[in-house]
Structure 1
Amino acid sequence: MKKFLITLAIIIAVLWGATWHPATGQWVYQATNRLEAMFYGFEKTAVPVGDLTFSVYRREGTEAAAPTLVLLHGYTASKELWLRFANQLDDRYPILIPDLAGHGETGFDPQWSYRPSAQASGLERLLTTLAINKAVMIGNSMGGLIAANFALAFPQRTQALVVIDPAGLTSPIQSRAESLVQQGQSPFEIESWEDFQEFYAMTMAEPPYVPEFVLRGMAARYQERKAQFVQIAEDFRNFDQLDGRLEQLTMPTLVIWGSADQLLDVSSAALWQRQLPNSDLKIFAGVGHMPMVERPAQTAAGVQEFLQGIQQ
């Protein structure tokens, strides 16, 4: 009996220790996302487009006439962040969720351009490959900047636009993150677990529960990809910004912003609405930079109401 208890204690200690290894957290995160995607009816596929291969989640819609919704994540994020939001949308909409170049499973190449216009061109080739003629582009943060650049370059392929706490305009009030970047202390450049904790706390005001060992795995992944993210930031922050260009976007547009956003200040929301000729604005009180993660049902309801309005 004594040997059994000692063996059991060793097994428990080993298992407990394993949960604190970054690789364990990464594996659990990936496995959970795979199961969640399957449960929601999404198929993960790889789509070769020229010199890059997009990793995408895709779900067919039940109504042939319904527009395809293309969901674009933000800087340093990945397609998985959209899953719970996407599951709240009416299943008549076809949905496409890609990992953008340099992110997630799509891969990184130092020779690629990560300018918003280059990312938009890559998405246009992706839609062409998948025989999607027209889409509603929905983007968060950097994804909102890319969605707007897509709409500017390919207005005939953009049925409508939804931007959620988007990047791209000079903000009337600097956010906490923007102030740090100006001081040469980008919160996205993670070198330690402590750095990641500070960064993660800035991303959301109402984050969903994630076990600490999974967060440690995410932190390790950020550290591994720091140099890649630095290169991507140089391109997306310094080119193809939207000041003075939004007036060209005449398609229906919905702007959503979290009032507690620490990465991109909510003061930009009124600028977006004022400069867009055909736009609506929703501000979610107490929400941070990623409403679709913090309040997926509320965000999806707002988007769905907007979609129903443009189809009438």
Structure 2
Amino acid sequence: MKKIIPALILLLGVTWLATQSPSVGLWVYDQTAKLEAQWYGFSKRTVKLDELELVLYERQAEVAAGEQAPTLVLLHGYTASKELWLRFANHLDAGYRVLIPDLAGHGETGYQPEWSYRATAQADRIAALLQALQIDQAIVAGNSMGGMIAAHFALQYPAQTQALIVLDPAGITPPQLSETEALFAAGQSPFEIANIDQFMRFYHLTMAQPPFAPEFVLRGVAERYIERRGAYAHIAQDFRLHDSLDERLPQISAPTLIIWGERDRILSASAAPLWQQGIAASELLLLPEIGHMPMVEQPAITAAQVEAFLARRL
């Protein structure tokens, strides 16, 4: 026993020291996401497009032989990655084929300064992905920047858009600025992280009900943001300053579900009625006590609402 106690103390000490390293936190985050993807039936694949190799998670549908399964494409937001959709996707019916790409500039797809990060260019890449996979039509869903890209996909490829789902989407001028939009208007970007304290403030802006994450894991994710600060600044210039949807929403013909967290501090929920008014075939769902990422904060509820909408409209 006398020998065991010092060994336990040493082990605890080493474990504690390990958790203080951001690289350990980032490793834990990445490995947890990989395990979750496997548990939920997703496999990772890479699809070669013209200028890049797009990395995505894919889950095949469970349907009877000869049946054609609907395809659901899930697009993440600015500075995010495919992993944020996993728990939402786990609550979807197994009859959907689900694709969750890392958009250009993000995640494992990576960043190159010569690529375009405009919403129209990203929508073209999603169309190229579907073509490469021989998918004629898809339900396209997106959060934040991903919602803006999904809307542009519906505009650019109406025949390929079975339905559109946008969650707290970017792309139009809100009647009232959110906390984050006010910072952007003042020339500041909370997304461009220089240190861990800035990341922690940013993280609490993104969600009203964040899922549990140990602090050492968040510190690891912060390091990734710090490393990619320059890339994120470039991406923001491309997608925020071009391709506004202010005058284009009435041109969207696809059945559309608009979901918005009423406590969104990134993109003001005051824009939600404008989306509904602009798109004739749309429904609006406001979620109380939810922030900018409903699919992360309440994945089961959000997935159920999406499936109910699709059952009504398709």
TM-score (norm 2): 0.97
Equivalent position amino acid for 2:57 in 1:
Y
- 2:246 paired residue number: 243
Q: How does 1:1-312 map to 2 (within 5 A)?
A: 5-63=5-63, 64-311=67-314
Q: Distance in 2 between matches of 1:91 and 1:2?
A: 54
Residue 119 of structure 1: how far off its partner (Å): 0.5
Instruction: Give the secondary structure class of the aligned counterpart of 1:33.
Output: helix
Q: Which consecutive unaligned segments of at least 5 residues does structure 1 have?
A: none
Deviation at 1:66, TM superposition (A): 3.1
Q: Deviations over 1:172-199 (max 9, x none)?
A: 0000001011112211011111101110
Measure the CA separation in 2 of the matches of 1:4 and 1:184.
57
Q: Share of identical aligned residues, percent?
A: 55
**CA–CA distance in structure 1, aligned partners of residues 202 and 16 of structure 2:** 26
- Secondary structure in 1 matching 2:57: strand
User: SS of the counterpart of 1:161?
Assistant: strand
Q: Structure 2: which 5+ residue stretches go unaligned?
A: none
CA distance in 2, matches of 1:219, 1:48: 30
Runs of 4+ in structure 1 displaced over 4 angstroms? 1-4
Aligned-pair CA distance for 1:65 = 2.9
* Separation (CA, whole Å) in 1 of partners of 2:231 and 2:121: 17
> Which amino acid counterpart does residue 170 of structure 1 have in structure 2?
T
In structure 1, distance between residues paired with 2:140 and 2:190: 27
Offset at residue 239 of structure 1 (A): 0.8
For residues 15 and 69 of structure 2, what CA distance do their matches in structure 1 show? 48
Output the CA distance in 2 between the equivalents of 1:274 and 1:259.
18
- Partners of 1:157 and 1:6 lie apart in 2 by 65
Distance 1:99 1:157 in 2: 20
Deviation at 1:108, TM superposition (A): 0.5
- SS of alignment partner, residue 36 of structure 2: helix
Whole-angstrom distance in 1 between the partners of 2:118 and 2:184: 19
User: Which residue identity lines up with residue 105 of structure 2 in the other structure?
Assistant: G
Whole-angstrom CA distance in 2 between matches of 1:2 and 1:89: 53
- Which residue identity does 2:302 align to in structure 1? T
Write the letter of the residue equivalent to 2:83. E
The C-alpha deviation readout for 1:112-133, integer Å capped at 9, x for no partner, is: 0000001111111111111111
Deviation at 1:8, TM superposition (A): 3.5
**Considering only aligned residues, what root-mean-square deviation do their CA atoms show, in Å?**
1.0
Opposite residue 69 of structure 1, the aligned amino acid is L
Q: Secondary structure at the match of 1:105?
A: helix
Q: Which residue identity is paired with 1:290?
A: M
Give the aligned residue type for 1:10: L
Q: 1:2 deviation in Å?
A: 5.3
Shift of 1:9: 2.2
Cα distance in 1 for partners of 2:218, 2:39 equals 23
Q: Residues 45-70 of structure 1, C-alpha deviation per residue, up to 9 Å, x if partnerless? A: 11111221111000111233332000
Q: Which amino acid is 1:126 matched to? A: L
Shift of 1:3: 5.7
Rounded to whole Å, the distance in 2 between the matches of 1:104 and 1:211 is: 21
Which AA in structure 2 matches 1:98? P
